[in-house]
Amino acid sequence: MELFTNQVLAGIATGAIYACMALAVVMIYQAIDHLNFAQGEMAMFSTFISWQLMQWGIPYWGAFILTLALSFIAGIAIERILFKPLAKAPILTNVAGFIALFAIINSSAGLIWDFTIKQYPTPFGSAPFLGSQLISTHQAGMIGVTVLLLLGLYFFFQYTRVGLAMRAAASVPESARLVGINTSWMIALGWGMATAIGAIAGMLIAPVVFLEPNMMGGVLIYGFAAAVLGGLTSPFGAVVGGFLVGVFENLAGTYIPGVGNELKLPIALALIISVLVVKPAGLFGRQIVKRV
C-alpha cells in the first residue's frame, strides 16, 4: 500500500509538468481550433531566453516577467507574420506549417545555445516538501502555480469582456464578427497567451528535465495526451488530465510486469485511447453535436 501511495504521489509530481503543458495546449486549441505541434519548441525557446537573461545578471523574477512579456509579443508576431496568411489554407497545410515552425525553432535554438544540457534554477528550492521524499518544494510550487494559472484563466474567460470575446470568436466566428468582435485579433491574442503560458510551463519544467533544445519532445506528447484526455474544450479538464496521465504512467511502470521506461509512453497512450473510446470528447469536454 505504501508503494502505491508513493507511486501516486510521484505521479502527481510529474503530472504537474504535463498539466502545465496541457493548459497551454488547450489555450491555443480554444483560440485557433487545432493543436500546435510547435508549442513545446516555443516554450523551450522562451525558457532559453529567460536563461540568457539570467546569465546577463537579471534576477529570477525579473527574467520571469520579462520572458512572459517577450513570449506574449513573440506569439502574436508569429501568428501575424506566419499563420495569418495561411488562415484560408486547408487545415492540414496549417499542420505542416506547425511542423515547419518546429524544425525552425529547434534548429535555431541548437545553433544559438548548442545541445549541451544546462542547469536551470528554481525559485522554490529543492528540499523535500513537508518531509516527503517524493515531492520536492519545487514540484509543490509547480502544482501551486498550475492551480493559480488555472484559476486566473477561469476568471479571465468567465468574467472579462475580452475573455468572453475570445470564447465567442472561437466557437462561432461568423456571429462574433457580426456583433463587432475582431476575430482575427482574438486569434492573435490567443497565440500570445498560449505562448506566455507555454513559457511559464517551460520555466517550471526546466529545473526537472534540464534545459536543452530537445527538452520538450516528451513533455509535449504527454501534454497533448493530457489535454485530449481531459477534453480539449476544458482548461480544468486539461489540468486533471495532466495529473491523471502522470499517475497512469507511474502505476503502469510499477505494476505491469516487463514495462520498462520505454514502454511507459505507449501504455499510457493506450490507456488514454481506451478512455476516449468510451468518452470520445474527453473526460470533461463538451460533446459537439453534428448536423448534416
Partner 1 sequence: MSAVEEVVTEAAAVEAVPKRAMTLGTGTSLLVLAALIIMPIFVKNFIIFQMTMLLIYGLAVLALNILTGGSGQFSLGQSAFYAVGAYTTAVLMEHFDVNYALTLPIAGVVCFGFGFLFGQPALRLSGVYLALATFALATAMPQLLKLNFLEHWTGGVQGLVVTKPDAPFGLKMSQDMWLYYFSLVVVIGIYILAVNLLRSRSGRAFMAIRDNEIAASAMGVDVALYKTLAFGVSAAITGIAGSLGAIAVQFVAPDSYTITLAVSLFLGMVVGGVGWLPGSIVGAAFIIFVPNIAEGISKGLSGAVFGVLLFLVIYLVPHGARQVAILGQQLAGKLRKN
- The answer to whether 232 contacts partner 1 (rule: CB under 8 A) is yes
Cα–Cα dist 286/281, whole Å: 7
List Cβ neighbours of 154 (8 Å cut-off, separation of 6 or more). Answer: 235, 236
Minimum CB distance to partner 1, residue 226 (Å): 11
- The answer to whether 93 contacts partner 1 (rule: CB under 8 A) is yes
Cβ atoms of 103 and 37 within 8 Å: the answer is no
Cα–Cα dist 156/230, whole Å: 20
Give the range of 84-92, 158-166, 177-185, 242-250 binding partner 1 by CB under 8 A: 84-92
Mark out the alpha helices in the chain (DSSP H runs). 2-32, 39-55, 60-78, 91-113, 137-159, 161-171, 173-178, 183-209, 216-230, 235-255, 261-278
Binding footprint of partner 1, residue count (CB under 8 A): 47
- The answer to whether 101 contacts partner 1 (rule: CB under 8 A) is yes
Residue placing its CB nearer to partner 1 in the complex, 69 or 99: 99
Cell of 221: 506528447
Torsion of CA 138, 193, 78, 98, to 10 degrees: 70
Selected from 97, 202, 235, 246, the binder of partner 1 by CB under 8 A is 97
Contacts with partner 1, 19-58, as mask; x by CB under 8 A = --------------xxx-----------------------
- The answer to whether 91 contacts partner 1 (rule: CB under 8 A) is yes
Site residues (CB under 8 A) for partner 1, limited to 195-224: 221, 224
Q: Which of 12, 22, 9 is nearest to 201 (CA)?
A: 22
Residue placing its CB nearer to partner 1 in the complex, 130 or 289: 289
Selected from 228, 240, 252, 283, the binder of partner 1 by CB under 8 A is 228
Cβ atoms of 211 and 110 within 8 Å: the answer is no
Contacts with partner 1, 263-292, as mask; x by CB under 8 A = x-xx--xx-xx--xx--x-------x-xxx
- The answer to whether 125 contacts partner 1 (rule: CB under 8 A) is no
Residue placing its CB nearer to partner 1 in the complex, 1 or 292: 292
Backbone angles phi, psi at 41, to 5 degrees: -70, -35
Cα–Cα dist 56/157, whole Å: 36
Cell of 90: 486547408
Selected from 4, 55, 73, 107, the binder of partner 1 by CB under 8 A is 107
- The answer to whether 102 contacts partner 1 (rule: CB under 8 A) is yes
Burial group, residue 264, by CB count within 10 angstroms (0-12, 13-18, 19+):
middle
Q: Which residues bind partner 1 (CB under 8 A)?
A: 33-35, 82, 85-86, 88-93, 95-97, 99-104, 106-108, 110-111, 221, 224-225, 228, 232, 258, 262-263, 265-266, 269-270, 272-273, 276-277, 280, 288, 290-292
